[in-house]
A and B are shown apart, each in its own frame.
Chain A
Amino acid sequence: MSRPVPLRLLGLLLLLAVAGCGGEADSAVDLASGQATGKPAYGDTYIEALQGNISGLIPNVLSDGPSFEVGSLIYNGLVKYDKDLNLVGELAQSWQYSRDCLDLTFKLRPNVRWHDNQPFTAADVIFTYETMINPKTPTAYGGDFKAVESVVAPDPYTVHVRYKHPSAKALQSWSIWMLPKHLLESYAREGKLREAPQNRANPVGTGPYRFSEWKPGEKVVLVANSDYFEGRPYISRVVYRIIPSSATTFLELKAKGVDGAKLTALQFKRQTEYPAFRKAYTKYQYAANVYVYLGLNLRDPRFADRRVRQAFAHAINKRELIDGVRLGLAREATGPYKPGTWQYNPNVRTYPYDLAQARALLADAGWTEKDPDGVLLKNGQPFKFELLTAQGSDEGRKVAEIIQASLKDLGVNVEIRVIEWAALLKEYIKKRNFEAMILAWGITPDPDQFDIWHSSKTSPDELNRIGYANPEVDGLLEKGRSTCVEAERKQYYDRLQVVLAEDQPIVFLYFRDGLPVVSSRVRGIVPAPIGIQYNFNEWFVPKQLHRYTAG
């Protein structure tokens, strides 16, 4: 039931959710012509703007995007996702599954050292595992290891994991950040990792960068780890500046006070298209790991009728919605998976904008009469409902307004209510006391979405908020998560997407684009489906372009 998200990606994902940067890169909007030229050189400082303060330095017990972004340069996992979202070894040199998916054996990379020069061994892997399953550890990722029966280390560089039952996400759960046993053991045993001094200063990992300084609310500074096992990173110093206002971040970009940041759609489209900016920065655009949807409470008899949901899907002009809300910087969603990933199935029912079709579907569902105001009636009841959205998200409000106008054309009366997120969650979503809402879901590289669609996940704290129940979907979700063979899983998830598209349990709207921008003096950036950050240790600035000589 817990989250099987590889931490590193979850970090990325949360980041995207928060700041709107993101995963797959199928088009680099603007590859500076100089990108390929220049010789790799060591040195220079890279300054990245973060919108929020990091909450700590041991990401295993944290859950915010900024902490993950910083943590991902300090720590490593046994495996990681490569640029095309395939799992590859990181601290593990290789691994082997047994035929029944029950035994997983890792061969660890020898000669890896912690930042304090202690060797990294299988003992650290076992320690990290034990910390994650310790009931006292305040982590959201312990559930990933529930299917584990035992973890043993036959020698210092071999780790053998035995599972109770086959689990699709067994391998990716080992992308969890490895923690140093020799420093954290006493804190971990007490469940006090958050209180450990390493969560505040001097965290020790195996990653490409070492911690240098954290001034809360102001900045985090990292320096290159010259002993990194994949080689010393080129950029010798990374400064994360915490700048809460996106307007300020933008001005800092213009004044060259920061080298990398995430743009808003407006900034990307309208405010950065002048020569000086294009010369100084390279803009990137990917489909982020977040999609926006219209959720309907399926406990409401009106919405329980599939034809009504399909009618809504036909009545909402997604292209217009994307243009209006995101200035075109988003992609239509046909289901809960992102185009371009292995699990994505393009052959599903789509809902082109078609009012006649929508009207016919509603008429089929019994909404045939209209009152004098043009509002549809059924058994004398007008079709009207309340659409909730969270305060602070301008996007949600705009989407709601466009949907309100679209459904008005159908004769459906929508009232919009904007509510603060905490209150919305507690008083409406958890109590299932809503008719409809505009929300977004983050997605993970692994296609398992059991928690969102399975009919057993409808209790107040769980995520099947709309009350969706489809026995076929339940079966597909169960099968999809219980094999380690990708080809087999693909079949289940392909079918899942067909059913979801037909059912429209929620109206899938769009995948937001992430819009990062990086100083054009930085080279070696290769946009890929996973984003741009994945090869940060290979980014470099040619010697003659170094801006910060110190460090």
Chain B
Amino acid sequence: MLGYALRRLVLAIPLLIGITFVSFLVIHLAPGEPVENQMGETSTQSDRELRERLKEIYGLDKPLHVQYWSWLTRLVRLDFGRSFSPDARPVLQKIGERLPVTLLLNIVEMMVIVVLAIPIGVLSATRQYSRFDKVTTIFVFVGFATPDFWLALMLMILFGVQLGWLPISGLRSPTWEYLSFWQQQWDFVAHLALPILVATFGGLAGFSRYMRQSMLEVIRQDYIQSARAKGLPERMVIAKHALRNALLPIVTVLGLSLPGLIGGSVIVESIFAIPGMGQLMVQAVFERDYPVIMGNLVIVASLTLVANLIADLTYSLVDPRIRVAARRGRR
């Protein structure tokens, strides 16, 4: 097991380098230059010297392979470089200050989704075509089909403007510094309520449908029949025998959504004015801020590879059939 994990990790390194190489190439080949985008569309500035100076500072005057090599050698030392944006701050710092809020939002969102989606999925599967099944099906698909930004605006109007219960946007009130400790915590939670609600509503459909499907498959299996034949109460059959098996595919899906946790939703972040990863990335792309784009990419790519590995490993942990098959295969 350990050997297998190590082998996978070592193999991931060339893969990672390959990913970064292709992305580096693609990003640099996209039209537009970081230097250019520091000046606005209507700007009548044409200081050619500044442009040359910036190119030199950023190393853009060198051939692409030289740029890539110097970027890669710095990366090995975990130096992600400095942003091309005029704040010239280290990329890791910029990502570091945006990551916590995005992680928090996404983890809470994920937990809420899982907590809601599993019972919804199980209930709709066990009561397939019942009224509950139909109502939740409609509900989750409405959620799936509702545009984030529209829902967000409607909720903002209702809870922020009409009722005045919740703040509309941002992370903290302007008077945050002057609130007591508990008021501050409440203030923060109140600011996150709507964004989490919006993000959850949209994500619920996929997960609950997965769960329903998985459950439907499992309850048609013979061993469920035998469990029932043994005279086990239906609750035991579902909760103990069916659910555990039905959760297997969910584990994979969850594992694969791990890298997604650090990518913010651009729409939700922009509309709620939350300074997260999504906004950082979009701005970086518009500004052609290569170091920030690449930095984020490396992190996401590494996480994806690791998540794949973890998903594979946990799968064999939770599913005895795979373990057995693997052992037999080796023999």
Contacts and interface: CB of A to CB of B under 8 A. Distances in A.
A248 B53 contact: no
Of B54, B94, B149, B177, which is in contact with the most chain A CB atoms at under 10 Å from its CB? Answer: B177
A140 B42 CA distance: 15
Nearest to B87: A56
Contact of A1 (B39, B48, B167, B168): B48
A529 B270 CA distance: 33
A530 interface: no
B273 A441 contact: no
A440 B42 contact: yes
Contact of B49 (A2, A441, A451): A2
Interface in A374-397: 390, 393
Contacts of B47: 1-3, 140, 142-143
A65 B45 CA distance: 14
Given A239-B174, A241-B273, A257-B169, A251 B157 contact: yes
Contact of B31 (A135, A244, A427, A441): A427
Interface string B147-190: 00100010011001100100111111011011000000000000
A406 B271 CA distance: 37
Contacts of A63: 38-40, 43, 45, 86
Interface residues of B, number: 60
A418 interface: no
A55 B272 contact: no
A386 to B, nearest CB: 18
Interface string A123-165: 0000000000001101110110000000000000000000000
Nearest to A252: B168
Contacts of B53: 135-136, 138
Contact of B46 (A1, A55, A194): A1
B272 A248 contact: yes
Nearest to B152: A248
A39 interface: no
Contact of B50 (A138, A420, A443): A138
Contacts of B44: 3, 5, 441-444, 449, 451-452, 463
B237 to A, nearest CB: 49
A218 B32 contact: no
B130 interface: no
A239 B54 CA distance: 32
Contact of B86 (A2, A194, A239): A194
A17 B279 contact: no
- The contact size tier of chain A is 35 or more
B212 interface: no
Interface string B247-282: 000000000000000000000001111011001100
A461 B51 contact: yes
Contacts of A56: 86-88
A511 B268 CA distance: 33
B283 interface: yes
B89 to A, nearest CB: 6
A486 interface: no
Contacts, number: 188
B98 interface: yes
B166 to A, nearest CB: 10
Given A136-B53, A143-B49, A550-B177, A242 B43 contact: no
Interface in A1-51: 1-3, 5, 14, 17-18, 45, 47
Contacts of A252: 168-169
A199 B53 CA distance: 19
Given A290-B42, A440-B41, A47 B174 contact: yes
Contact of A550 (B33, B48, B164, B178): B178
B143 to A, nearest CB: 21
Interface string A174-216: 0000000000000000000011000110000000000000011
A5 B168 CA distance: 38
Contact of B175 (A2, A216, A443, A550): A550
Contacts of B149: 247
B248 to A, nearest CB: 40
Given A3-B45, A17-B43, A251 B32 contact: no
Given A63-B38, A251-B160, A218 B54 contact: no
B146 interface: no
B153 A251 contact: yes
B97 interface: yes
Interface of B: 30-33, 36-51, 53-54, 57, 82, 85-89, 94, 97-98, 149, 153, 156-157, 160-161, 164, 167-172, 174-175, 177-178, 270-273, 275-276, 279-280, 283, 286, 288
Interface of A: 1-3, 5, 14, 17-18, 45, 47, 53, 55-56, 61-65, 67, 135-136, 138-140, 142-143, 194-195, 199-200, 215-219, 239, 241-245, 247-248, 251-252, 254-255, 257, 290, 390, 393, 420-423, 425-427, 439-444, 449, 451-452, 457, 461-463, 548, 550-551
Given A5-B44, A138-B54, 4 more contacts: A62-B86, A63-B38, A219-B170, A248-B271
